[in-house]
Amino acid sequence: MREPGIFWWPGRIAAGAVARDIACTIDLLPTAFKLAGAEVPADRPIDGVDLSPLLFGKGPGARQSLMYYRDTTVYAVRKGPWKMHVTTRSAYGNDPPKRHDPPLLFNLAQDPSERFDLGPKHADVIADLKKVLADYEATVTPVENQLEKDLPK
């Protein structure tokens, strides 16, 4: 799941600039608030981060990690060039999810197609990503799955 983000703002965002930092659509809300001069709501957790330093070439992106969900389950964790898969499943098949213990580990800077599992050589990276995942999951409160909720009749 690596998609380009394209931003255009003549006079503010440098033409032709390329950033390879991690970002996500959940970062658009706090970025929009910041650009509008508003405060992000403090009465609820906001998972997104402000992308404006990254967009305006003023510094690196603030996002340190990213969780990859399928439905309501975290399947993978990304931090820097590393991506750890704890569960995989084909894109459109009826096959069941496959848990990985130990998890699969890929260096996206060297292997963007995720073909070579480096987990056996980098137990330290797996331990770090497992901690990132555990710390994240400790902050999440499960809610009703809105995708499977019945619509009002």
Report if residue 60 sits inside a domain: no
Strand pairing category for 65-70 and 82-88 = unpaired
What percentage of the chain's residues is helix, strand, coil (to nearest 5)?
A: 20, 20, 60
Q: Is the pLDDT confidence value at 152 over 90?
A: no
Distance CA(51)–CA(63), nearest Å, equals 8
- Identify which of 126, 121, 81 has the alpha carbon closest to the alpha carbon of residue 102: 126
Amino acid identity at 76: A
User: Which DSSP category does 43 fall into?
Assistant: S
Name the domain count of the chain: 2
In a domain, 93, yes or no: yes
Domain containing 129 — which CATH number?
Answer: 3.30.1120.10
| 93: its two tokens | 């098949």
Best CA proximity match to 76, nearest among 63, 65, 91, 90: 65
Q: Is pLDDT at 88 greater than 80 in this prediction?
A: yes
Average pLDDT over residues 66-89: 93
Q: Provide the whole-model pTM.
A: 0.84
CA 102 – CA 82 distance, rounded (Å): 15
34 pLDDT band (50/70/90 cuts)? very high
Residues 73, 133, single domain; the answer is yes
Report d(CA 87, CA 13) in Å as an integer.
Answer: 38
Q: Quick one: 75 and 131 in the same domain?
A: yes
Kindly state whether residues 69 and 133 are assigned to the same domain: yes
Q: Is residue 39 situated within a structural domain?
A: yes
Q: Which residue has the higher pLDDT, 103 or 16?
A: 103
Same domain membership, residue 121 and residue 89: yes
Confidence of residue 25 (pLDDT cuts 50, 70, 90): very high
Same domain? 43 vs 103? no
pLDDT attached to residue 145: 73
Residue 10 lies in a domain: no
Q: Name the residue among 9, 48, 13, 14 with its Cα closest to residue 28.
A: 48
The residue count of the chain comes to 153
Task: Tell whether the model's pLDDT for residue 1 goes beyond 70.
Answer: no
Enclosing domain of residue 80: 65-137
For 111-122, the pLDDT digits (tens) are: 999 999 999 999
Do the beta carbons of residue 58 and residue 66 sit within 8 Å?
Answer: no
Q: Same domain, yes or no, for 49 and 96?
A: no
